[in-house]
Amino acid sequence: MKRLISIMTVILAITVFTFGCRKKTDKISLGYVSSGVTGLAAEVMKELQIPEKFDLDLDYIGFTDPSLSNNAFINGKYQVNLAAGVNVIALARKQGYQVQYFFPTLLNSVCVVVKKDSPYQSLNDLKGKKVGWYGLQSGGGTGFYVLAKKKGIDILKDYEFIDAKPPMLWPLLERGEIEAIVIYDPFVSRMLATGNYRVLVGPFFKAWEDETGYEMEMTGFAATEKWLKNNPKSAEALIKMWKETVAYIKKNPEQVLRKYQDYTNLKTDREIELGVQRIPPIYVGEWGNKEASINLTLKMLVKDSVIIEEIPEGIINKLGE
């Protein structure tokens, strides 16, 4: 009996020592755009403590602008980017930065929007007209380029573009200074709710699927090769965290949109109604055919020497299947 008690005491001591000394999960700095659908998702995961379910300790670093977030990421200011476009990763790798895209998070919700009473019925009708957008070096810009190219239009030659920050595009269209804008949700839902605007083409992920059979991604998780190599379990945990967040939003769209109105500015019943229809499908919970879509997009950009002239190796490190 004494021998048995001694053995049990030793086992208990080892157990206490092992769990008492187990290293806590290192804090991960997660960069994201603090408004719109990305900011909304981040707030959901924070409030529901979804990261903690997967033993993740996150330091949330929000940015008001995608460009600011991407620049900070490329320059090593934080570890994991929640909303990096593949074109951003391709450009960074071309410049020697060893960053990789490892799981899609959002589909391309961008649309071409015109006034409801305008005469335009197709992209061809906009040739020679002033079109507002927020630049070629964005998911909206490159997405518009390849989608229009599939329809036989070279937007860089056929349109007169006016560059502006996304919040300024709507007022420009309202004042009649431009004929159409390239803009994403939740802006699109808010504009449609007024009854004064209509979608000419989009959302791009659906239009692209009609043209190619593939859904068009907009953003995804990205990190450095070194971080992914040293933190494979954390990378997988981040993906599981995201999938649970997406599942919650899709299951409770109206509740989420009403509770977190500050992130979308969808406030009236009509805006919420449109948001419920349009926003949940944007969130991505699986790879599906996204890699094939990405590869096709990159090949088209390279063929025309738009943004990139060759596809750098190692852009995608596919995780979370």
Could you report the per-residue pLDDT of 192-219, keeping only the tens digit for each? 999 999 999 999 999 999 999 999 999 9
pLDDT of residue 126: 97
At 201, give phi and psi (nearest 5°): -145, 135
- Measured in whole angstroms, the distance separating CA 298 from the mean position of its chain's CA atoms is 17
Q: Is the pLDDT of residue 19 over 90?
A: no
Same fold, 27-107+217-303 and 111-212: yes
Predicted confidence band at 9 (pLDDT cuts at 50, 70, 90)?
very low
CA distance linking residue 207 with residue 199, whole number of Å: 12
Pick the CATH number of 111-212 from 3.40.470.10, 3.40.190.10, 3.40.50.1820, 2.40.50.100: 3.40.190.10
Beta strands at 80-84 and 160-163: parallel, antiparallel or unpaired: unpaired
pLDDT of residue 321: 82
Beta strands at 197-201 and 111-115: parallel, antiparallel or unpaired: antiparallel
CA distance linking residue 228 with residue 289, whole number of Å: 23
User: Taking all residues of the chain, what is their mean pLDDT, rounded to a whole number?
Assistant: 91
Tokens 């055919």 correspond to: 289
Q: Is the pLDDT of residue 261 over 80?
A: yes
Taken in order 131, 136, 138, 140, the sign of the CA dihedral is positive
Residue 163 carries which side chain, given as an amino acid letter?
A: D
Exposure of 179 in the CB half-sphere (CA atoms within 13 A)? 18
CA distance linking residue 137 with residue 129, whole number of Å: 21
Residue from 254, 249, 255 nearest 241 by CA: 249
Q: How much of the chain, in percent, has pLDDT values that exceed 90? A: 87
CA distance linking residue 222 with residue 117, whole number of Å: 42
pLDDT of residue 22: 35
CATH of domain 27-107+217-303: 3.40.190.10
pLDDT of residue 14: 40
Beta strands at 57-63 and 197-201: parallel, antiparallel or unpaired: unpaired
Q: pLDDT tens digit string along 269-295? A: 999 999 999 999 999 999 999 999 999
Q: Is the pLDDT of residue 11 over 70?
A: no
Q: Is the pLDDT of residue 184 over 90?
A: yes
pLDDT of residue 318: 96
Tokens at 157, concatenated:
């030659």
Residue from 119, 142, 257 nearest 198 by CA: 119
Predicted confidence band at 260 (pLDDT cuts at 50, 70, 90)?
very high
Query: What average pLDDT does range 246-271 have in this prediction?
Result: 97
pLDDT of residue 26: 86
Residue from 176, 191, 154 nearest 271 by CA: 191
Q: Is the pLDDT of residue 236 over 90?
A: yes
The domain locations on the chain are 27-107+217-303, 111-212
